[in-house]
Structure 1
Amino acid sequence: MKTGWRRPFEDPIRIGDRTLATLRDAGEYIAGLPKKEHDAPEWLAAMEALLLVLERGGPTIFARIGIMRALNRHYVPGFNPKGKEPHWGRRKLKRDQ
């Protein structure tokens, strides 16, 4: 099993034509961000998760989740006020037909 910065992600992160396959790749990507984006709270949390995985030997999925949240921080899912229709009211029992 690889340790430290060489630890691979279970599922590599694809960013455009670049692939982050190891913790080192993720660290270099974060370090190469512009200062304004680098200091965003989401990227700070992603860096913290990455360092915790490195120092404590936790699962790499934690670092992956932090990076994915930082990458998708501007995505706002559309709100559907109607939501799912409840199943009651549409079905009729045989006795009621």
Structure 2
Amino acid sequence: MPWSTPFDDPIALHRGRLETLQQAADYIMKLPEDLQQEERWQVAVAHLINAAERGGGWLMFARIAMLRALRGG
């Protein structure tokens, strides 16, 4: 599944939204390094990678992991 694959429902942010796996990955990469290392973001990264590599239900899991990370756990 390409990184340009869209989520079924975009993830709303305070300013804008994340519509694809790539946009979600880019969002995480722009976070400060110490935040990127937090477990919640590491879980989100792992799910994004699984979604890109395996597709299927992993896309939903990646979206959920991003939502949880954005909400602080």
Q: Tell me the TM-score normalised to structure 1 length.
A: 0.69
Work out whether residues 52 and 58 of structure 1, in 8 Å CA contact, stay in contact via their aligned partners in 2: no
Matched, 1:63 2:68: no
Q: Which runs of 5+ in 2 are unaligned?
A: none
Q: Which residue does the alignment assign to 1:81?
A: none
Q: Which residue does the alignment assign to 1:8?
A: 6
Distance apart, 1:58 and its partner CA: 2.5
Larger radius of gyration: 1
Which structure carries more helix by proportion? 2
Q: Which runs of 5+ in 1 are unaligned?
A: 75-97
Q: Tell me the TM-score normalised to structure 2 length.
A: 0.90
1-structure distance, mates of 2:71, 2:50:
21
Higher relative contact order (CA 8 A, sep 6+): 2
Matched, 1:27 2:25: yes
- Poorly superposed stretches of 4+, deviation over 3 Å: none
